[in-house]
Amino acid sequence: MNPRTVNRRSLCRTILSGAICGMVGRSAWAEQEEQTLDVTAGSEWLTGSGLRLYLSAYAGQVPGPVIRAKPGDHIKINFTNLLPNVTNLHFHGLHIPSTGNADNSLLDVPRGGSLAYEFDIPKNHRGGTFWYHPHRHGYTARQLSQGLAGAFLVRGVLDEIPEIAGAPEELLVLQDPIVNSQGAPIEVGLVDQMQGREGDLILVSGRQNPVIRIQRNGWLRLRIVNASPSRFYRLQIDEHILYQIASDGGALPAVQEMDEILLSPGERAEVMVRGSREPTEFRILNLPYDRGRLSMIGTSSARSVSETIGLLKYDGNAESEWDLPQTLTTVEPLAEPVIRRRFELGEGFARFTIDGRTFDSRRSDTTVGMNSLEEWEFYNPTGMDHPMHIHTNAFQVVGADGLSIPAWKDVVLVKALSCVRVRLRFDDYAGPTLYHCHILDHEDMGMMGRLDILPK
């Protein structure tokens, strides 16, 4: 077994079952149009990269199996819940129905129960790095923290650009389980929940401090998913520029050169890294970030030290050298809508609100018309950051100049004492769907609303 394979293995049931254990890299896109997967969620002891942890896993793996699909594919997931509590599945970022047995976060899969999820990826779906995770209100943060999350990749324009598709690819699913020194999960107290739980152990696709290999003068494509319930990642690689090519909802119009990338919970980015330095090792860092404080308790969530979460290691030389194209795709900016809404975020004791109310699945909070275009403002008068997420339809953020930034997002960071506007159109699907803070403890404590999209 070559060392590269060992490095690429995520946590799984036993070392010997490596073949099914979250292998990443340049695995081919499945050619079939129909994909049927059997996924069981359960809690078990997992081993890998020197760790032994009791986590909750999809198909015995943390992170869960990578699902790779193409527009037009039909996906069926035979899901079984062997967790101690109720759960369900949400397909974060996918533009598919939020009703029936598709991306319906209001469904319950009780302990011991099963459900067949089934949907088509629309033929015009954007490519990108999406993900799946539990979404049962009241249990989401804990289940995610204990390991339940997996990447869902949809093939798209970037995979047709030879300068990008020709590079090796690494998937970095960032998780931070909360475990004791034996590797068993610990339940966190109410203040930690209000703050948004963060674990001390950072897993990068199931590995602690993994070595990510890059060829000298070659390119590496990183697909990064913040699958932690509350932790923000401010990522940097020593002495390397991050060439961002995609955000949550797929390709950016042009390559963005970044020194660092901030990912709040639920956000994704795809970046290219060039092996342009002396062939040694460089740290992959998570820089300090202060996401504010609870007004009534006053404890700060500031992290004041940089954490090394992996190493970029030079290994071999690229056979050929190339530059990235400057333009990647076209993203039409959304026009200024007539309909505007404002949502005010709020905080109380063990209670997080939107417009003063906590979530109730039986209550409709916002009603819109299918195919209509709206501008939503999230106003955050609290002392803490709240990354806001909308299901089913991606949005464009409105910049300081009042124009829409041409990039598709589904999570937007609304910093403490600030407001952010987004534009979105409710395309294709009617029915109830959700919007919420992606600090999942806040979502569990009420910071979520039900959006009803009415057919025209």
Helix extents (H) in 214-294: none
Instruction: Scan residues 437-456 and list those touching Cu ion (CB under 5 A).
Output: 437, 439, 442
Cβ proximity to ligand C2O: between 329 and 353 the closer is: 353
Phi, psi of 318 (to 5 degrees): -70, 145
- Does residue 389 bind ligand C2O (CB under 6 A)? yes
- Does residue 142 bind ligand C2O (CB under 6 A)? no
Q: Are 310 and 210 in contact (CB under 8 A)?
A: yes
- Does residue 102 bind ligand C2O (CB under 6 A)? no
197 interface partner picked from Cu ion, ligand C2O, none, CB below 5 to 8 A per type: none
CA dist 268 and 290 (Å) reads 20
- Does residue 434 bind ligand C2O (CB under 6 A)? yes
- Does residue 266 bind ligand C2O (CB under 6 A)? yes
Evaluated on CA atoms 61, 247, 345, 191, the torsion sign reads: positive
- Does residue 412 bind Cu ion (CB under 5 A)? no
- Using CB under 6 A, count the residues that bind ligand C2O: 10
Sequence-ordered list of residues with C-beta below 8 angstroms from that of 50, at least 6 positions apart, any chain: 208
- Does residue 391 bind ligand C2O (CB under 6 A)? yes
Cβ proximity to ligand C2O: between 220 and 453 the closer is: 453
- Is 449 buried (19+), middle (13-18) or exposed (0-12) by CB count in 10 A? buried
Sequence-ordered list of residues with C-beta below 8 angstroms from that of 28, at least 6 positions apart, any chain: none
- Does residue 207 bind ligand C2O (CB under 6 A)? no
434 interface partner picked from ligand C2O, Cu ion, none, CB below 5 to 8 A per type: ligand C2O
- Does residue 409 bind ligand C2O (CB under 6 A)? no
109 interface partner picked from ligand C2O, Cu ion, none, CB below 5 to 8 A per type: none
CA dist 169 and 222 (Å) reads 6
- Does residue 442 bind ligand C2O (CB under 6 A)? no
Cβ proximity to ligand C2O: between 167 and 448 the closer is: 448
CA dist 383 and 355 (Å) reads 16
- Does residue 92 bind Cu ion (CB under 5 A)? yes
Q: Are 133 and 92 in contact (CB under 8 A)?
A: yes
Determine how many CB atoms are found less than 10 A away from the CB of residue 456. Answer: 9
Torsion region of 181: left, alpha or beta (phi above 0 gives left; psi -120 to 50 gives alpha):
alpha
274 interface partner picked from ligand C2O, Cu ion, none, CB below 5 to 8 A per type: none
Residues of this chain that interact with ligand C2O (CB under 6 A) are: 90, 92, 133, 135, 266, 389, 391, 434, 436, 438
**Contacts with Cu ion, residue ranges (CB under 5 A):** 92, 386, 391, 437, 439, 442
